[in-house]
Chain A
Amino acid sequence: MEQFLQQLASGLANGAIYACVALALVMIYVSTDHLNFAQGEMAMFSTYISWQLMSWGLSFWTAFIAAVLISFVLGVLIERVILRPLHNAPVLSVVVVFIGLLAICNSMAGAIWSYLIKEYPSPFPKSSFGIAGVIGPHQLGVVLVTLIVLGLLFTFFRYTPLGLAMRAAAQNPSMARLVGVRVDWMLALGWGLAAAVGAVAGIMVAHIVYLDPNMMGGILLYAFASALVGGIGNPGGAVIGGFIVGVLENMVAFAGNQIEKATGVYIIGNGEKLTVALIIVIFVLTVKPAGLFGRVVVKRV
């Protein structure tokens, strides 16, 4: 039972990370209809930036905030410089550009900071407290930070004029433009926010998976699965989907372990995490493309 609770807790912590990255994906998707295949590598790059700042002597939280801000600026720049001219380009061009970004981020991080795996500190106190043994302090911290970020984003989009303008630009660009919203800049801001949220996820997860240029590959896949489960056009759905997928991932591995213990037959374990994500992605895409909370899109031909 205790093992089960442990798995549940770590599933929730992973879920928080997936929720963040999924939210970043959804923010870009709703405004531009693009799936950002480079989201994970961008987050990885931001995490390296924070690591670099820390190794220059900044404290964890200063480096955290600085890295998130830098990521925001980089995200805006990427949108303005690279993706802006491709707004009406064919899907293949956009996908190719994202893959190009992925390759650049990955290889640049490897070139600048080397492919050696680095340890990444946790900002949360070492002592376990309260529900000791079930949930570690870092996991609890991750969930808290994620919830704070999500709360801030919700407040921003729900209660500020800028948030409203961004939602309008995403929902109906031509109408928004008519009432004076600078749609192009709203898209760039959305990209910046997505990069910033991704950076938070990267920095939070780096302590768990260690820092290396390939650390986000699996997480990105799970984030895609989360976004799809929640309905890819729905930010709230993406967050819930993140937690669902995070728990599901750990439960599948846990069940696999139990079966192996009981019967001695190995079916599934930690080594098949990406395969599970692949199955979730293809299953949702083919069986229920709208996800749990998404709108069914009817296309007129």
Chain B
Amino acid sequence: MRVSFQLNGKPVAAEIEPRTHLADCLRETLRLTGTHLGCEHGACGACTVIVDGAAVHACLMLAVQAEGRAVVTVEGLSADDALTPLQTAFRKHHALQCGFCTPGMLTTAHALLTEEPDADAERIRAVISGNLCRCTGYIPIVEAVLEARAAYRKKP
């Protein structure tokens, strides 16, 4: 069957089996492989994408449920080759090592700071607790997200 939605600001359509989840649709059908799969049961958060502004596990959402909605993946966070302030802060604070959980961390943090640019460390920790990272121990990730808040506050 066919599903159509907005992906990183552009209209896309995909031919899929009804059982295909959104992450497989993005990765295998639309060939956008920045969204990673770490568990496929909603426990690790690596596949987090933003659907109509909300951070969502793409492994727990059927692709057909994206019909007509706006999906943003890690590839859509920066419009051009430059890093966003959030990505820059991740690099500065060494908030990633192997890079596998990073797309989900970025989408989760982006969704959070878009709604709550004043989130404190405790709030950031609570929100990213749905995203597992095995390399960093989370401390630099929290530091990076805290630093990135300023850029979200400036937005109109």
Partners in one complex: no
Chain A residues packing against B (C-beta within 8 Å): none
Chain B residues packing against A (C-beta within 8 Å): none
